[in-house]
Amino acid sequence: MPWHTGRLLVAAPTLEDPNFLRSVILVLDHDEDGALGVVLNRASTITVDETLADWVDLAAAPAVVFGGGPVEPTAVVALGTARESSAPDGATAILDRVRLVNLEEDPVLAATELERIRLFAGYAGWGPDQLEVEIDDGAWFPVDADPGDVFTDDPDGLWHHVLRRQRGGLRLLATYPEDPARN
């Protein structure tokens, strides 16, 4: 069974759950116990400066808190790009140099190891076998991630962008209208 840690889940255009409508999720962990990830393309209007001002200098543009998913919406998940491929203190990179960031760290010291960060309020989660069933049902398309996806400066266009770079029929879904009845 393939695990999808470090990959993207792109919502099928027919997925109607408002939490995941046209979402792109980076899978942070996936194993026999389930999966969790963060929605990469739900920028909020809440700025990093309003929530964790000490981290604003490292915040990637747009410097806002993203809606990471419906689970624990008051929890903050931080992702950062390490300056070097090895993560400090045994932290594991999720994708290339992208890793989880401990917000308890001193941001000034963290800046010596990190190029940028992105903050997410909440996360998406699946129980054992739940994600596999949803993928088999066609709700999600697992695709390879690019580190730039995590820190895109165009979160609203990410769903289209990720689909456009795929091959075959999946690429065509990038043109799927928001309301097929109006097509």
pLDDT truncated to tens, each residue of the chain (183 aa)?
579 999 999 999 999 899 999 999 999 999 999 999 999 999 999 999 999 999 999 999 999 999 999 999 999 999 999 987 655 555 678 999 999 999 999 999 999 999 999 999 999 999 999 999 999 999 999 999 999 999 999 999 999 999 999 998 899 888 887 766 665
Could you tell me which of 34, 39, 29, 32 has the C-alpha nearest to residue 9? 39
- What are the distances in angstroms from CA 125 to CA 27, 49, 68, 89, 130? 9, 27, 10, 26, 9
For residue 132, what pLDDT is reported? 96
Cα 37-110-90 angle, rounded to 5 deg:
60
For residue 92, what pLDDT is reported? 72
For residue 162, what pLDDT is reported? 97
For residue 93, what pLDDT is reported? 84
Q: What are 60's two structure tokens?
A: 């990637």
For residue 177, what pLDDT is reported? 76
For residue 182, what pLDDT is reported? 67
What distance in Å separates the CA atoms of residue 160 and residue 166, rounded to the nearest whole number? 10
CATH number, domain 7-176? 3.40.1740.10
Q: Are 23 and 114 in contact (CB under 8 A)?
A: no
For residue 178, what pLDDT is reported? 78
Residue 23, amino acid: S
